[in-house]
Structure 1
């Protein structure tokens, strides 16, 4: 019976030491977690910072999209203006060529004598 009591006492002492070791280890883990970058408070701060950066980047993206749209519109207007200028230039070249032909024909035509003076 005495051996049983000594065995039970030994198990109780062993359990107490094990529980104490667990508590010390857990406290150390909590302490290291709070000082590390994975602590809940630090993670929440990082999340809040990232959300603010996300909002800022979304605003920048919206601005860039507006700038791109304005650039595309300006380019379309410039392309139309260039096309109009090319059309006008072609028309002027055609008119110039017609005037040259007319001038050439008038120079090649026999000279008509002026009416004789009486």
Structure 2
């Protein structure tokens, strides 16, 4: 990642913004489920990954133009740039928490994941 703002940080990253919650905003509202979670590095929106049925993280990028997401999975700190289709193994630290709670299952959330969830990954 490179900075287009000099010493102000990386364009598209606001390290002070906390995540919007512990799960995908849209899936939570609709009673849906997700496979993995992604966090918008600019506004903190939590959306589900492209392996999830609804792909809300990508939809958020298309709606807002916010290009950078960070994994919101425990133990992961990589970034993805939707604008350039580039993976970054590391990047700036964001406001805590860095992931969904470890006790939250993957896929999740508990009680809403269908028994045949793995079939949707094909």
Bucket of the pairwise TM-score, normalised by the shorter protein: under 0.3
Q: Give the TM-score taking structure 1 as reference length.
A: 0.17
Structure with max Cα Rg: 1
Q: Give the TM-score taking structure 2 as reference length.
A: 0.17
Structure showing the higher strand proportion among its residues: 2
